[in-house]
Structure formats: structure tokens, C-alpha cells
Structure 1
Amino acid sequence: MLKISESIDVGHREMSIENVLRKRREHAGTVIFGSNITMWQVVEKLALTVDRSDAALGTTSQFVHSLQVYEAMLANNKTEEWYLLLGILHDVGKTLSLTGEDDFYVDGSNLILSCPAEHSGLDACVVTYSHDEFGYQKFLECCPGVDLPEEFLYGVRYHSLHSVDPRWLSEKDVQNFAWLFDDFTVYDHGTKNGLNTPPLEVMFSAKRLVDKWFPDPIVW
């Protein structure tokens, strides 16, 4: 019998193109918490989520995971705000699980299912649906007044991607892969610890940064 984490991963990998397109349509404009919530309050909702496909974290919430990533970035003297913001917000799409959505449409590693042509770029490809795509679309919908850097949005959309054939990549993808998978992934995967809860000052620092970028209520 498969473990829960294994069954989620299998279900995610076996997703059809039709189901991906259906989920994109189904969740376009999805509102989970309403129209008068702050981005930091959305981040706090990650305390209610657990990625059951992630054996490294176990029952540790995604809120704690986000703070672990942010704490490690600070310890390594990362200073670019968009990068630190990505550390905090990369998994905020996992709030999708609070709608009752099936785990394998939220969690798991993403794969490319189809591309129109070689070097067409990931934006033209169909990728398995998960919190990456949901979070990316929510950032486009929720915050039109926030000038989010392209790199931040790229990281949200593709940080769970694995086993990529380079023939599908555009020059934009090649440039972004250099930092996303050679650097960011080290923090995302390498900081997971079910026994480490970052101190309160890390949380307060994260809140200040999120509030700076998202000062007004949003729709999420």
C-alpha cells in the first residue's frame, strides 16, 4: 500500500492535460477569504495547511516552512527584497487546500505535460496543476496596484518544477533557472525541519516586509 505522500505524488504525476486546463478554468477568480484581508493574514492562514506529500516536513505547517526559508535567507545575508519576499510567499498558493481541493491538485512536484515547440518557453507549455499556478494567478488577480518583479512571479509559478527537458526552455527560462534552481531551491528544500520553529523576531521581520509590499487589503 502506498503512503499518503506517495499516493499524492502519483496522482499529481498522472494528471492529464484536460484536468490541468479544467482546474485552470475552475480556479480562475477563486476567492477563499474575501476582499478585505491583508497579504500577511493570508500568509498566517498557511498555519492551517500541511503538505502531506512532503515527508521532510511531516506535520509541520507551511507557515513555519515559509519562516524557515526566510530565516535561512537572512542568515546568509540575502538582501534583495523581492527574493526575501519570494521566500515568504512562494507557497502561499497552498491556501487552495483550504477550499477542500484534492491534495494532488495542490501539492507535489510539477512536470511538463506538453509544449508547442522546442524553445517555446515554459509560459507556452502545459504544466501539472498545483499551488504554483494557483498562487501565480492569484498574485496577478489580487494585487494590480503592486509592482511585483517578473522574477518573483516566475519563482512562484515554477519553483516546484522538476525533470525539465532543456529543449523546451526559452532564453528567459534559462536565465531564471540559474537562480531559481541553483540558489532558491537550496533554501526551499534544504531548510525543512519539523523540529525548528523560527523565533518571533523572524516572524515580525517577515510581516514588516510583506506589509511594506502589500500595504492595502487584497482579494484572496
Structure 2
Amino acid sequence: MAPTKSNSPISMIDPSQLLRPEPVFSDKPIDAFRDYTIDDSDPIKERVRRTYYLMHTNVTVDLVKQKREKWLKFNHFKSTIKDALIKLNELVDESDPDTDLPNIVHAFQTAERIRQDHPDDDWFHLTGLIHDLGKVMAFYGEPQWCVVGDTFPVGCQWADSIVYGPESFKDNPDTYNPKYNTKYGIYQPHCGLDKLLMSWSHDEYLYQFLLHNKSKIPESGRYMIRYHSFYPWHSGGDYRHLTNDKDEEILKLVLEFNKYDLYTKCENVPDIEALWPYYEGLIEKYIPGVCEW
């Protein structure tokens, strides 16, 4: 796969221009994606705002450590990948302003558009299908604000490009902790993404899940999953003082993935039943059997 070229610094807050694909994948106007304007009269916009404000109030260094301790034991349930995907039919992402469809529809929309553009990279097709699968945590006691939405590092200053901005963290205790509220916080300059303690979400959980269950999805796919929601970095241009040369290569992969993740959200629902046999073959190839979650 030939990733999108990305040699120039990213400086914009709105990722829609950066991730603009040609041709447009969706029947929805491009400027309508990722609209986080506050409008109390719009129930979807208000749902999104409420979800993010709860996230930004509650996600602290301590909470992330607690969630890692809880979930990375992988002792909550056992399931095949297919059965976990079917579970997503019951989930509508409360942080997503772009679609009100069940998450499994988005999974197939993403996978099928990747398959069209990259027909020979079957691991990439499967990556698109499962990239949000970590959201199953929402069925096992986790509130959506701790599962969905854009991610960001904890333990350092909140970036301006985080959805709703630093103001949304005004009730977060880490905002006032001198160990955590400086530019570098608990990190060293250019320490690399691997050293960052990210806000707990479906991204990090699924990345660790794939490692734990010895998935054969290549490293490129695992990094796409791990950082696809890290918009303040890959689209907002923030946190570059913490990244290193390896992360520049990861950035190319994530940007290639995200144009399919973001712009395939539309009302055109794939024929999921007809597509299952193809994707069941990929599941059997890359992450077969019953997995530990």
C-alpha cells in the first residue's frame, strides 16, 4: 500500500481539509463533517457536546491507569471477532456528529471503500472493518465518554485543537496539577507516541487486544487502529514536540486510513449479509477463533 504523502507540517485545527479525498466518497457535503458547533436545539450536537465534556472532565492520568489495569487483563468475556462485530449493531456512537447509524454499518462502509482502492491489501480491508471494535467496552460497564471520541495524551497540557478546546477541561483536576499542566508534563521532548499515556478509548484497547490475541494483522494496521482517533496530532498539528521520526511514518499510515474512516459515513448502507463470507475469510486468516477480551 502506498500511504498518502505528508511531508509538510500540519497546522490546521479542522481536519476536513487535510483528509479531503478525491473523489468524495460520501453523498454528504464535505463541510458538514466533524461539525462540533454548540447548538442546544440540535439533539445530536447536544449529545456530542455532553459526551465530550464528560470525557474532558473525567479522563485524568489516574483514571487512564485504572482503565488500563482493568481492561488489559483481557478477562471480561470471550468472543469471536464476528460475534463482537455483530454486537456493534446495537451501538450508536454518542460522540459522532456525522452519523446516527449503528457502528457496524460504519465498519462495513470503511472496509468496503478501502477494498475498492486497495484490492490487494486484504489486511487493510480487515483493519477497516474492525477499527472501532474496541467500542464493545460500552456493553461491559463503561460509559461512552470513556470508550468513544477523539483521543489525546494525559499528563501534559491540553492542546488547543482538542474538540471544544481547553475550556472543556475546566473541571478536570489534572488541569490544575503542576505535574501535568505544562507543555511537556511527565514526558521528554520527542519521546515518541509509544511513550505517551493516551486517554483511554477503543483505539488503545483494540491495539492491545490484537497484541494479546496474537493477531497476524501487520504493524501498519495496528498503528492505524491505535492512533486513528488522535485528531489533535494527525490533523490538528499538535503534540509534534513529543513525536519522533518513527511517528512521521506512522502519520502517513494514519492519514491514509482516516480518509476512509471519516468520509465514508453516509446513508448508503452496504449489504452486510452478502459481504460476511469475504470478511469471515479474513478473520480466519488474521485473527481466528475465540478471543479474550
TM norm structure 2 = 0.68
State the partner residue of 2:117. Answer: 76
The change in CA–CA distance for 1:77 and 1:126 in structure 2 (over 3 A counts) is closer
Match of 1:152 among 221, 225, 240: 221
Q: Does 1:133 align with 2:133?
A: no
Once superposed, what is the RMSD of the aligned Cα atoms? 1.8
2:91 corresponds to 1:49: yes
Offset at residue 116 of structure 1 (A): 1.4
Q: 1:147 to 1:207 in 2, by over 3 A?
A: closer
Aligned length: 213
SS in 2 for 1:163: helix
Runs of 4+ in 1 over 6 A off after TM superposition: none
Which of 110, 114, 117 is the aligned partner of 2:188?
Answer: 117
Instruction: Tell me the CA shift for residue 75 of structure 1.
Output: 2.2
Question: Which structure 2 residue ranges, 5 or more long, are not aligned?
Answer: 1-39, 157-185, 234-238
- 1:12–1:128 contact (8 Å) kept in structure 2: no
**Closer, same or farther in 2 for the Cα pair 1:112/1:212, shift >3 Å?**
same
Q: Secondary structure at the match of 1:148?
A: coil
Indicate whether 1:24 and 2:68 are aligned: yes
Instruction: State the Cα distance separating 1:28 from its structure 2 match.
Output: 2.1
Query: Retained in 2: the 8 A contact 1:133–1:157?
Result: yes
Q: 2:276 matched to 1:196?
A: no
Verify the 8 A CA contact 2:110 2:129 in the aligned structure 1. Answer: yes
> Could you tell me how far apart the structure 1 residues matched to 2:265 and 2:276 are?
16
The structure with the largest helix share of the pair is 1
Pairing partner for 1:168 from 234, 237, 242: 242
Moved more, 113-122 or 96-105: 113-122
Alpha-carbon distance in structure 2 between the residues aligned to 1:110 and 1:209: 28
Task: Note the C-alpha offset of 1:159.
Answer: 0.9
Q: What is the Cα deviation at residue 187 of structure 1?
A: 0.4
Following TM superposition, by how much is the alpha carbon of 1:216 offset from its aligned partner in structure 2, in angstroms?
2.5
State the AA in 2 paired with 1:211: E
Task: Map Cα deviations across residues 11-51 of structure 1 (whole Å, 9 max, x no partner).
Answer: 223421111111111222244432xx322222222112221
Give identity over the alignment, percent: 27
Shift of 1:68: 0.4
- Give 1:86 deviation, angstroms: 0.9
- Pick aligned residue for 1:11 from 54, 69, 80: 54
Alpha carbons of structure 1 residues 74 and 147: separation in structure 2 relative to 1, 3 Å:
closer
Are 1:219 and 2:292 an aligned pair?
Answer: yes
Whether 1:186 aligns to 2:259 is yes
1:91 counterpart residue number: 132
What is the Cα deviation at residue 102 of structure 1?
1.0
CA distance in 2, matches of 1:211, 1:147: 10
Query: Offset at 1:65?
Result: 0.7
Instruction: Determine which structure has more spread, i.e. the larger CA radius of gyration.
Output: 2
The secondary structure found in structure 1 opposite 2:231 is coil
